[in-house]
Amino acid sequence: MPFDLILRGGRVIDPSQKLDAVTDVAFRGGKVAAVGDALAADPATEVRDVSGLIVTPGIIDLHTHVYWGGTSLGIDAEEFCRTSGVTTAVDTGSAGPGNFAGFRKHVIEPSQVRILAYLHVSHAGIFGFSDRVMVGESEELRLMNPVDAARVADENRDLIVGIKVRVGLFASGTSGIVPLEIALEVAEQVGMPLMAHIDHPPPSYEEVLARLRPGDVLTHAFRPFPNTPATAQGTVKRSVLEARERGVIFDIGHGKGSFAFKTARAMLANGFYPDTISSDIHQLCIDGPAFDQVTTMSKFLCMGMPLPDVIAASTVNAAMALRRPELGSLKPGSVGDATLISVREGRFDYVDVVGEHLAGDRKIASEGVVIGGRWWHPT
């Protein structure tokens, strides 16, 4: 059978196969069909010369907010993914059991970009997040809805990949750690991982980590002080190392207030790379400091994280966190998603959430995406 599309002559970096070589990638029937040199094209095959570009598995942004129109923080997934090279946007708790049906029908199902979701344990998800109104949904325990959260998660297993909760001074206020305990009970009931947001204490970084199970995700993992994973002496806290040893996943979740160069430098200097790199893109950070996924990836590249590791943290590692091994890989039979990027050299200004600037010498740029085995370019 002929291939539908061949990407010809790009540098293919696929950490899932430990592959880094100039070669071709072919797609058929919505899946990766072959990876190899000089793949044969039929007259019906679309062939794109991508020499000089890097071909990666479809980039996964593990932390986004794309319930556009349903919450004030939601951004348009298709526009974001086109410019950021993302083929799978994972929404992290924008919707809860009270409004997930609308998210599914009006945003997820019409989207050409794949959208998966962590379901918020709070009834209406993150409902009070804007420039003028900022209400931590976990402050009010009456909004915790574990019974319906378990039901909705069970009924939507094709799209829901886990349970989300936000704890910290701004998210849970005087409720402290209690919403996390409720969310963990739901996650245990439905057999899904949990993603926990953390901001200022209370609770402390250590208190949250102590409750997370293997496969659970701590997002905003490279936060600035307070609730940072690094000590004042620049070492990694013992509780952080112990959590990684037992299988807790450390995700960046850059966002408006959750990533600092100082923290990242300390963690990288100790050889503690993030498991997953994500943007936490939403209305209040899309114009800075996060901007998009490739900018977040670029920051780590400029701080010395090797390019294959940066790509792994946005492809295969994210797919494993989602328990979706068909994603994040260019192995034949995998979902037919790919991202084309370039690494531009020059002088680029990057900024973190506390206003520190980094002068970087490289920038990862999105040059196109393949979704479902087809070259994708929304009108």
**Is 63 assigned a ligand-binding role in the annotation?**
yes
**Is 280 assigned a ligand-binding role in the annotation?**
yes
**Is 363 assigned a ligand-binding role in the annotation?**
no
**Is 65 assigned a ligand-binding role in the annotation?**
yes
Helix axes 261-269, 293-302, angle to 10 degrees: 50
Query: For the CA atoms of the chain, what is the radius of gyration?
Result: 20
CA-closest candidate to residue 300, choices 327, 276, 270:
276
Residue 364 structure tokens: 């990862």
DSSP label at residue 17: G
- Residue spans of alpha helices (H) in the chain: 77-84, 100-103, 146-155, 178-190, 205-211, 238-245, 261-269, 293-302, 307-312, 316-322
**Is 106 assigned a ligand-binding role in the annotation?**
no
Q: How many beta carbons lie within 10 A of that of residue 122, not counting itself?
A: 32
> How, if at all, do strands 128-129 and 134-135 pair?
antiparallel
**Is 197 assigned a ligand-binding role in the annotation?**
yes
Q: How many beta carbons lie within 10 A of that of residue 307, not counting itself?
A: 18
Rounded CA-CA distance 197/171 in Å is 9
Which three-class secondary structure state does DSSP give residue 323?
coil
Q: How many beta carbons lie within 10 A of that of residue 56, not counting itself?
A: 29
Q: How many beta carbons lie within 10 A of that of residue 155, not counting itself?
A: 12
- Positive or negative, the CA dihedral 331, 112, 293, 341 is positive
Question: What Cα–Cα distance (Å) separates residue 49 from each residue in 157, 335, 373?
Answer: 38, 21, 16
Q: Which residues does the annotation place in the binding site for Zn(2+)?
A: 63, 65, 164, 197, 220, 280
Annotated binding-site ranges: 63, 65, 164, 197, 220, 280
